[in-house]
Structure 1
Amino acid sequence: MQKLIIKQLGGIASVAHAVRSNREMSLRAPTASIAEVASLSGDFNALLDELEQRQTHLRFENESLTHIAEHDALTNLLNRASFERRLTAMANDAAAHDQSFAVLYLDADQFKAINDGHGHAAGDVVLQTLAVSLKACLRSGDAAGRLGGDEFAVLLGAPSDMGSADYFMDALHVQLLNPITLPTGDELLLGVSCGAAVFPVDGTSAAELLRKADKAMYREKHSRRARDPSAEGVL
C-alpha cells in the first residue's frame, strides 16, 4: 500500500513540476485508485482548470491590447508607429536579400471640403471606406497604415517596384468606382492622390522612403490640378 501511495503521489508531483517548469497548464494529474490521493488529484486538476482558463483569458487580453496599441481605432489599419516599424523591417530584409519594394503615400482628395461641408461623421465614413478599399487590394506580405488625418501609406512586400505600385493604384481606383453614401444622404465619388517610392533607389530608411513617396504624391496632385482643377473627386 505504501508503495502504491508513493507511486500515485509521485504522479501528481511529476505533473506539478512540469507545470511549474514549463507553464504548461494543459497537463493534468493521473487518476488514482486510493480515495485520498484521488481527492488530492481531483482538487489539483480543478486548480489547473482555473489556471488554464485564466491564462487563456490573459493571453486574449494581451493580444487585444497589442492590437489596440498597433492599430488606428477608426480604420483598423496599422497606426503610424506600427507601419514605420513594418517598413523598417522590410527594408532590413530587402537589403539582406538584395530585393526592391515599393511604398505608396496616399490621401483623400478634397477631404477638408468634405469635413467642412458635410461634417466630421462624413469625413469618418470617407476614411473608413478608403481603408476598406486599401485592404481589399493588399496581397499577402503587403501592409497598409493610416499615418494621420487623411494620409495613408501602403507597403508592397518584396519583390515589388514602380510597376507594382501602378498596378495597386489601378486596383484601388476600381474599388472606388461606386459613390459613397454619406450620413447626410449625399453621395460622394471619392478620389485619391498617390505617390510612390522604391527601395533602395529612392531611399533606404523608412523616413526617407515615406518622404519621397509623399513628395511624389504632391507632384501628382499638383499636376492633376494644373490639367483639370475639378479633377480631385466629385462632391
Structure 2
Amino acid sequence: MKAIILAAGRGERMRPLTDHTPKPLLRVRGKPLIEWHLEGLARGGVRDVVVNTAWLEEQIVATLGNGERFGMAIRYSLEGRDHGGALETAGGLKKALPLLGVSGDAPFWYVAADVFAPAFDFGPAAASAIQAGQLGHLWMVPNPPQHPGGDFGLAGGLATVADGGASFTWSGIGLFRPNFVNELMAELALGEKARLRPYLDAAIAQRRLGARRWEGGWADVGTPERLRALDEGDGCTTAPAAA
C-alpha cells in the first residue's frame, strides 16, 4: 500500500498559529499533527508516501525529510514551487498521483493532514474495504458540531447523497483507485485548482464510492480552540467507541 497526504492548505482559520508554521506541523500532544498520520501509516505497512505542500512548504520538507526515520520513503508534490500556491484537494490529488507510482487499479490511501485520528488502523484489513469496481471508499464519522449537516448518506456499504435523512461527515481518510483520477478527472488540467467534492459526487452517481463508519476518536483540527482541546484533554469531536 501507498499513500498521499494532503498538506498544502493555508490554514486560514488557524491564524495566527499558521502565519509562521504550516498547519500540518502544529504540535498535537507533543508531535506535529502530520507525524501522527505517518506513524499510523507505517504501522499499517505503508512504505511509500507522497505529501503535497504549498504554504511554507520548505518547513514540511525540512521536518519530515526523506521519511527514513518513519521507516518509509517520502516524496513531495511541491505546489507552491511549481504553481505558486495550493491546487485544492482535487488539483492536489491529480498532481501528486504520478509521483506515487501506483499501477493498474491498486488502491492507495488518501489522508487529510488536518484531521486527528490516532487510533485509525491503516493495515491490510482496512485496505481490503474497497470492493471490486469501486473507485473509492470513505470512512465516515458522526457529524461534529461545526458541521451538523454532514457530507453524505450511507446505505448498503455505499456513500449516498445526503437528502435529508441520516448523514455523516467524511473523516478525511479514504482509499482511491488510480481510475478515480484517470476517469473522473480526465478533463482537469494538471496544475488546475479544483475541489474534490464534485468528483466524489460523480462516483456516488455511478454507485462506485464505498463507505463505512469510523468508530474511533476523530477531530477536525480546524481552529486554535480545537487544537487546544486536544492538548488539554481528549478533545476528539467523536469519541472512541466503548470497548
Pairwise TM-score range, normalised by the shorter structure: under 0.3
Structure (1/2) with the larger strand percentage: 2
TM-score scaled to structure 1, two decimals?
0.25
**Scaled by the length of structure 2, what TM-score is found?**
0.25
For the pair shown, the structure with the greater C-alpha radius of gyration is: 1
More helix by share: 1
